[in-house]
Structure 1
Amino acid sequence: MATSAPSTSFVHSMPLLQQWAAAINTCNCPDVHHANWFTRWLVISRSCVFSMTFTSGFIGVLLAASQGAFVENTLYKIFLALLCVIGLVFAHATNNLVNDWTDVRSGVDTEDYPRSQYSVHPVLGGLTTPGMLLKVSGALTLIDGLIMLYLASVSGPMVIVIAVAGLALSLGYTAFLKRYALGELTALVVWGPLMIGGTVYAISGHLDFNTLLMTLPYGLIVASVLIGKHTDKIENDRPVGVRSVPVLLGEQNALTLNKITFIAFYVLVVVLVVARVASPWILLTFLALPRLFAVWKIYSQPKPTTKPDNWPVWPLWFVGWAMGLNRSYGSLFILGLILSLIAPPIGHALGIG
C-alpha cells in the first residue's frame, strides 16, 4: 500500500530546506501530501536519483574544460554548461514522469508494486493525476527542446542528433527496452556517451574518441544502479512481463553480475590511465574501496526479510547500496578530473614540473 502520512503539523513545522533534503535524499518526505508544492514535485519526479544525471553533466563540463573550452568566452561557456546540466535534469525528470504514467496505464504499477511502497506513488498515492504528469512532462520537454535548438545554433547540429537519440532511448526504455533486457545497457549509453559526451560537444563543439572512452566508467556504474533496482523487483517484474536482465539471470547471478560491474569500473579507470587517455588523478576513485567492500558484503548475503531501521526505500534493498557506491565513485571521479585541471597550473606557479 502507499505510504501513510505522519501528522500535518510535523510537516508544517519542518523547514522548507529540510523538506527538499528529505525528498532528494530519501525519495520521500513526511506527510508529503501537505508539503510545499515544490517538495511534492521533487517526490513525484523522483529527484533522489537526479544526482546521477548531475554527475554525468558535471563530468561532461570538466572534460570540456580539459579540452580548453573555457579558455575564451569563459562566462558564456559557463552559461552553456548550465544550460546543459539543466536540460539533462529536466530530461531525466520527464523520463520518470512518463515512466510512471505508462506503468499505471499498462497495469505494472499497483499498490503492492515496489514503486508504491518505497515512495508515495504520484498517481496511486493521490499526489497528482495522469493528465498532470503528461502536462508537466510536455512543459519540461518544450523547455528542453528550446535548450537543444539554442545549443545546436551555437555548437552544431550534432546536438540535435544526440538529444533526439537520448529522447528515443528514454521513451523506448519505458515502452519496451526494460521489458526485453535492454534497460541496463540503455542506462550505460544514456548516462555515459550521450549525457557526458553530449555535454562536451554542446560546450566545445568537438567530441573525440578519447573523450567517448572517458564517458564509459560512470555510464557503467549508472547501469549498476539499474541492475540493483531490477534485482530488487524480480518477483514483481516477472508476472507482469518485464524481462529485465536480473529476471532472466535470477537473483544470485544478477548480484554476481553487479559485482563484476563494480570491478569493471576500476578496470576501465586503470586502462584509461595506463593508455594515457586519463590523468592519474582519477585513480582517487580507489578511495571508494572501503564502500565497495561494504557493498560487496551486502551483495553476498540474503536480502533482509523485514525493513531494517532507518532504511528509506524499502522494499528496495540492493539498489540503495548500488546508489551509494555510485555516488562515491562519481564524486571521486569528479574530484580527480578537477585536480587534473588545477594541479598543472598550481605546479607551474610554484615552479614544480
Structure 2
Amino acid sequence: MFDLRMWFRALQIIPRLSKDEWDRLDLVSRWLIATRAAVFVMTIVSAGIGGILAARDGHFSGLNFLACLIGLVFAHATNNLVNDLTDHLQGVDEGNYFRAQYGPQPLEHGLMSVRDVLRYTAITGAIALAAGVWLVAATGTAALGLMLAGVVFVLFYTWPLKHIGLGEPTVLLVWGPLMVGGTYLCTAGQWSWDAALIGTAYALGPTAVLFGKHTDKLPADRAKGIFTLPVLLGEPLARRCVTVMLVLQLLAVVTLVWRGALGWPLLVVLAALPLLRDTAAVFARPRPETCPPGFPKHIWPTYLVAYAFRYNRRFGLLFLLGLLIDLALR
C-alpha cells in the first residue's frame, strides 16, 4: 500500500529509518528516500524559471517543458544515487562518516544492496536519458550538447570533480545556464543568454547550499582527502563565501530588474531579506561542535546547510512567484 504521508515527509526532510521500517515502505517511498528527494525543490525551481521565462517571451511548449522537468528531476535523482554508490565503493562513507549521520545511506546502513542501488540507478537514469533523447528529437541538435554535459556531470560530479574543488563551480553551472538555459531552449526552441544569466543568479543559492553542506563536513572531508572548496578555503572563509553569494544573488536580481531583463514584480524577492539577515548571522559564527540548544536534533549534524537550504527555498519560491506575477501582468 502506498504511504502518502511518507511521500510528503520524504519531500520535506531525509527521514531516519530502521531496517524494519525500511522493509515496510512502499517502492515510491524507498525511491524518494534513497534519492534524497527533499532537495529536488532546487531543480524544480530552476526548471520553472526557464519555463516561465519562455512563456513570458511568447514561446512555450507545455509538452517540452514537462519533459525537461521530468528529465532534470530524474537526472538529479540519478546523481544522488551515483554519489552514494561511488562513495560506498570507495569506502568514503564507512566509519560513521557525515553522510551516514544525517539520513539513511542505504548501502552503509544495510537497507539496500549494491545490486538494488544499481537497479534503482539504471531505471532512474533511463527515465532521465529518455526525456533527454525525446527533447533532442523534438527540438534539434542544439539540446544535444546540453544533454551530454548533463550526463558528464551526473557521472563525474562525485568523483573526481568533488574531490578536486570543482564540485561547487559545477553546481553553479548546472543549476544556472544548464538547467534554466536548457529548459528555456527546449521549451522556447531557441537559446537565450538572458535566461542563462538569470539562471546563474538563481544558481548562486544552490551553490551556497552546497558550500554550507561541505563546510558542515569539512573536518570529515579533510580526513578522507576530499578537497572541496570549503576544505581548500578553510571554514571562516567558506562561511563568508556563503553570505557573499546570497547577497550577490539578491543584488543580481535587482540589477536584472533595473536593466529590464526581469520585470519589477521580481522585486518580491526582497521579502527574503529578514531571513537573509538571520542566515548571515548564523554563518558569521563558527560552526558549533555539538547540537546547539533549540536546534532540531533530527537534523543535526547538518547545521549550516540547513540554514542555507531554508533560505534558498524561500528565495526560490519568491522568485517563481515574481515571475508568475510578471507573466500574468504581461
Same fold per superposition (TM over 0.5)? yes
Instruction: Report whether the alignment pairs 1:337 with 2:308.
Output: no
Change in CA separation of 1:259 and 1:116 when aligned onto 2, cut-off 3 Å: same
Partner in structure 1 of residue 220 of structure 2: 236
Q: How big is the shift at 1:94? A: 0.3
Question: How far apart, CA to CA, are the structure 2 residues paired with 1:113 and 1:29?
Answer: 15
Q: How big is the shift at 1:247? A: 0.3
Aligned CA RMSD, in angstroms, stands at: 1.6
Instruction: Report whether the alignment pairs 1:204 with 2:194.
Output: no
Instruction: Report whether the alignment pairs 1:216 with 2:168.
Output: no
Partner in structure 2 of residue 65 of structure 1: 55
Where do residues 259-338 of structure 1 align in structure 2 (5 Å cutoff)?
Answer: 259-308=243-292, 309-338=295-324
Question: How far apart, CA to CA, are the structure 2 residues paired with 1:30 and 1:125?
Answer: 10
TM-score w.r.t. the length of structure 2 is: 0.94
The one-letter code of the counterpart of 1:61 is G
Partner in structure 2 of residue 20 of structure 1: 7
Answer whether contact 1:40 1:127 (CA < 8 A) is retained.
no
Q: How big is the shift at 1:311? A: 4.2
Q: How big is the shift at 1:312? A: 3.2
Question: How far apart, CA to CA, are the structure 2 residues paired with 1:23 and 1:211?
Answer: 31
The one-letter code of the counterpart of 1:62 is I
Where do residues 34-113 of structure 1 align in structure 2 (5 Å cutoff)?
Answer: 34-70=24-60, 77-113=61-97
Q: How big is the shift at 1:37? A: 2.6
The one-letter code of the counterpart of 1:50 is F
Can you give the 5+ residue segments of structure 1 that lack an aligned partner in the other structure? 1-11, 71-76, 345-353
- The alignment of Structure 1 onto Structure 2 pairs a total of residues equal to 325
Question: How far apart, CA to CA, are the structure 1 residues paired with 2:95 and 2:41?
Answer: 27
Partner in structure 2 of residue 3 of structure 1: none
Instruction: Report whether the alignment pairs 1:175 with 2:159.
Output: yes
Partner in structure 2 of residue 349 of structure 1: none
Q: Deviations along 1:7-34, whole A, 9 cap, x unmatched?
A: xxxxx9xx92221122121211554413
Q: How big is the shift at 1:223? A: 0.5
The one-letter code of the counterpart of 2:315 is Y
Percentage identity across aligned positions? 37
When Rg is computed on C-alpha atoms for both structures, the one with the higher figure is: 1
Q: How big is the shift at 1:277? A: 1.2
Secondary structure in 2 matching 1:312:
coil
The one-letter code of the counterpart of 1:296 is A
Q: Deviations along 1:133-174, whole A, 9 cap, x unmatched?
A: 122212222222222222112111121210110111222211
Question: How far apart, CA to CA, are the structure 2 residues paired with 1:53 and 1:146?
Answer: 18
